[in-house]
Amino acid sequence: MNYEEAIEFIHSTNKFGAKLGLQNITKLTELLGNPQDSYKIIHVAGTNGKGSTSNMIHDVLMASGYKTGLFISPFLEEFSERIQVSKKYIDNTSLARITEEVKEKIDVMIEEGYNHPTEFEIVTAIGLKYFKEQKIDFLVLEVGLGGRLDSTNVVKNTLVSVITSISYDHTEYLGDTLEKIAFEKAGIVKENSGVVIYPQDDSIINTIKDVAAVKHAKVYETCKENIKKTRGNLTGQWFEYLKTDVFNLPEVKINFLGEHQLYNALTALRTLEVVKGAGYDITEKSIAEGFKSCRFAGRFEVISESPVIVLDGGHNINGIEYFSKTVKENFNGNKIILFFGMLKDKNPEDVLPYILTLCKEIYTLAPNNPRALSSDDLAGLIRKHSDLNVTPLNDYNDIIPILKNFDKNEYVAFVGSLYMIGEVRTLLKNYHPEL
């Protein structure tokens, strides 16, 4: 099996859908020798902020001298982004070889009467196996969907669990209240371990605490008053960490914009305190270095300043709300030209109040996904709620000539599904070779 064949096999299993449950992944990892037992794991669940928080933790562990794996989803531009070690994507040869081995184990499973694993279960198994081969010290492991029954929850060797911001998403799988969703996310908490919680509503925190109590897990809360923004510009923001009992940090910069990213940084710092408390060498210097180097494409990513061009994968109501706040914080009241695309199941009509007042003009796009809302349908939806000029685009290549006509003082934002943002980012990198 070569790389192209491996990718074709992986994506062909999308037909098996998304099935929550641990039976298949448990059997598959057993056949692979339970590679997930070979390293310490920081397991991250939540609705929004998982990727940013995971990347911050990863980069600090890496700056601390630890060989660290990172498992994230979905990918933005290329599949191998999902499986990384010390910021290097899995190589094509390893991906092909491990995929072939996983496929052989799946054949054994089928013979024994198991269902065929889903695409995400297969990707999880490939990642866990690769991380063992790489002899990593830590794995920062991002949950795919939910937590309790997500295939990443096959892991047992968890040093600490992390629950980021929780809001409504995937309600057909996780429940129709925030408490039900929080319960599912908290399913990653392991017996006699610890859990760090992003600062949020008491009802969510109390649900997580209840799960932790049953599992005799220690709860590490975060407090918004422990972090203070000192300054910022389009390259990022600087903050002071006011909780000095473990780390006495100087002013620190993160390359992320938005108040929510400060709280993601706060959550990462609280997690790193737990890691340090477990006997690992995390220093103020490695925190500053890790945060300074950390970047995460497609999350209010400023890829040009003249004109200002932002890419943001705000794909649900919580993400769009964060985007709106960040625009108000950083764009000095300037109206934006919006390129917008969403999936049908993300309740696009509900997010419109957060963004329409920010815009002077809108172009709609269809994400590259079967669940996408067409550009024409999205444009019609917007016209029901606004008198703004809305233009549906049916070809991503139409974006470049439109951008070329914009004044250098404009503020342009591509917002919505990550399936759209990834494709646009590749397109714009070719347009702006320096990106």
Residue 114 is given by DSSP the state: P
Q: 320: which residues sit within 8 A by CB, 6+ positions away? A: 314, 351, 354, 355, 415
Residue 212 has pLDDT above 50, yes or no: yes
Residues 388/382, Cβ–Cβ less than 8 Å: yes
Distance CA(389)–CA(383), nearest Å, equals 8
CATH fold match for the domains 3-293 and 301-431: no
The pLDDT of residue 318 is: 87
Q: 174: which residues sit within 8 A by CB, 6+ positions away? A: 145, 146, 180, 181, 184, 185
338-373 pLDDT, tens digit per residue, is 999 999 988 888 999 999 999 999 999 999 888 899
Residue 328 has pLDDT above 60, yes or no: yes
Residues 306/71, Cβ–Cβ less than 8 Å: no
The residue among 347, 415, 350, 359 whose CA lies nearest residue 387 is 359
User: What is the token pair recorded at 190?
Assistant: 């392991």
Residue 21 pLDDT grade (very low, low, confident, very high; cuts 50, 70, 90): confident
390-401 pLDDT, tens digit per residue, is 999 999 999 999
Residue 433 has pLDDT above 70, yes or no: no
Domain regions of the chain by residue span? 3-293, 301-431
Residue 435 has pLDDT above 50, yes or no: no
Residues 102/12, Cβ–Cβ less than 8 Å: no
301-431 adopts what CATH topology? Protein-Tyrosine Phosphatase; Chain A (3.90.190)
250-267 pLDDT, tens digit per residue, is 999 999 999 999 999 999
In 101-235, DSSP assigns E strands to 138-142, 158-163, 194-197, 218-221, 227-233
The pLDDT of residue 346 is: 85
Residue 432 has pLDDT above 80, yes or no: no
Sign of CA dihedral 116, 120, 121, 126: positive
Q: Which residue has the higher pLDDT, 318 or 253?
A: 253
Residue 429 pLDDT grade (very low, low, confident, very high; cuts 50, 70, 90): confident
% of the chain exceeding 90 in pLDDT: 89
Residues 43/155, Cβ–Cβ less than 8 Å: yes
Does the domain formed by 3-293 have CATH 3.40.1190.10? yes
The pLDDT of residue 347 is: 84
122-171 pLDDT, tens digit per residue, is 999 999 999 999 999 999 999 999 999 999 999 999 999 999 999 988 87
Residue 8 has pLDDT above 70, yes or no: yes
Q: Which secondary structure element, helix H or strand E, spans residue 186, and what is its range?
A: none
264-317 pLDDT, tens digit per residue, is 999 999 999 999 999 999 999 999 999 999 999 999 999 999 899 999 998 788
Mean pLDDT of the chain: 94
57-89 pLDDT, tens digit per residue, is 999 999 999 999 999 998 999 999 999 999 999
